[in-house]
Amino acid sequence: MTIQTRSSSLSYSEREATMKIKILTTLEILAVFALMLVLRVTLRSTSIVQWEQQNLGWTYTLVFLWIGITVLVILLTRRGWAAFGVSKTNWQTNLDIGIKAYLVRFIPPVFGVFGAAWLGLDTAKIGGMAFAASMWIIALAAMVWVLNHHKPVKSGRANLILTILLLLFPIGVALAMRKLNMVIVSTVIWQFVLSGFGEEFIYRGYFQSRLNQAFGRPMCLFGIQFGAGLFIASFLFGLLHIFNGYDPTVGFSTLAWGVLLSNFLAGLFLGVIREKTGNLVAPGIAHGLPDAVGEPLIKIFGWTEIFS
């Protein structure tokens, strides 16, 4: 399969103007990303963030600040929200795609973790990293097939009910096991709303869309139209997750390059969905729903070491 590219004939002045837009947009993206990193590092040791982590399990303040910065920058660009994927157009179909992506996303954690263990591979080492990465590549290929064979859906009622039931499932399990607490409820909310739709708004909504506006989407592969924005946004998504292991008081507890690789591939998975569907409904569901269901269950059953 070859990559098809769109070619155009531009004058020198047009090429110069285009290059200027690309440079300024890249600097804008890097400035916003750098600000997000600074906030992540500086706020980590503050009392409010420590209180949130201790009592709620997750940091709400930081993500709200990230989203607020992103909203402000988008407003300054004076472009419509739909250009950044914030649209309810075809939401029924996109919700259905998101549910299917939720199922496809079982491939990397399930087969990656247990497959690596069965083969005796350490996912912290090169062999294990490569195996885990191959699971993401398989998931990406499966998702591309789904996107290219998916048919429009007229009603979203069944998928809405299914989404709600899935979100309530870990709460019901915790209640039945008498382990329900604020952290479990907070985990469901944080993972679905802030991590899922919040991060998708930032990375696939702002970063990827903004870069697409500057660099275009000149390539087409397997029915997916894309450009440099897909890869840059995915790389930044992976790079940010490396700082999960960073503490300003001790530095990096672990420089997990496997985290960068897996989250880069996850970014590609979500970014391809964004490119194909045109909005954030499907990638938001694909990102938030698996974590909103899985993370609470990990806490309830104490599976942290297995999936770490």
Q: What is the pLDDT of residues 172-215, one digit of tens each?
A: 999 999 999 999 999 999 999 999 999 999 999 999 999 999 99
| pLDDT tier at 262, thresholds 50, 70, 90 | confident
What is the pLDDT, as a whole number, of residue 265? 95
Mean pLDDT of the region 117-133 = 80
pLDDT at 51 over 60: yes
**Which DSSP letter does residue 59 get?**
-
What is the pLDDT, as a whole number, of residue 308? 43
Return the H-helix or E-strand segment holding 129.
Answer: helix 126-149
What is the pLDDT, as a whole number, of residue 248? 56
What is the pLDDT, as a whole number, of residue 245? 62
What is the pLDDT, as a whole number, of residue 306? 45
Comparing 103 with 127, the larger pLDDT belongs to: 103
pLDDT at 157 over 80: yes
Q: Are 227 and 218 in contact (CB under 8 A)?
A: yes
- For residue range 204-254, what is the model confidence (pLDDT) as tens digits? 999 999 999 999 999 999 999 999 999 999 999 999 888 766 665 555 555
The pairs formed by 155-158 with CB atoms below 8 angstroms and a separation of 24 or more are 155/92, 156/91, 156/92, 156/95, 156/96
What is the pLDDT, as a whole number, of residue 45? 81
What is the pLDDT, as a whole number, of residue 11? 76
What is the pLDDT, as a whole number, of residue 307? 46
**List of residues 6+ apart from 69 with CB closer than 8 A:** 32, 35, 36
What is the pLDDT, as a whole number, of residue 6? 47
Of 1-15, 55-69, 187-201, the least confident: 1-15
| pLDDT tier at 9, thresholds 50, 70, 90 | low
CB neighbourhood size of 93 (10 A) = 19
**124: its two tokens:** 């912290």
- DSSP per-residue codes, 169-235: HHHHHHHHTT---HHHHHHHHIIIIIIIIIHHIIIIIIIHHHHHHHH---EEETTEEE-HHHHHHHH
| Distance linking the first and last C-alpha atoms of the chain | 36
pLDDT at 113 over 80: no
**Rounded mean pLDDT of the chain?**
89
pLDDT at 17 over 90: no
**119: its two tokens:** 């083969």
CA 293, CA 227: separation in Å to the nearest integer?
A: 32
- DSSP per-residue codes, 65-102: HHHHHHHHHHHHHT--GGGGT---TTHHHHHHHHHHHH
Residues of the chain with pLDDT > 70, as a percent, come to 91
Collapsing DSSP to helix, strand or coil, 247 comes out as strand
Mean pLDDT of the region 55-75 = 95
Return the H-helix or E-strand segment holding 148.
Answer: helix 126-149
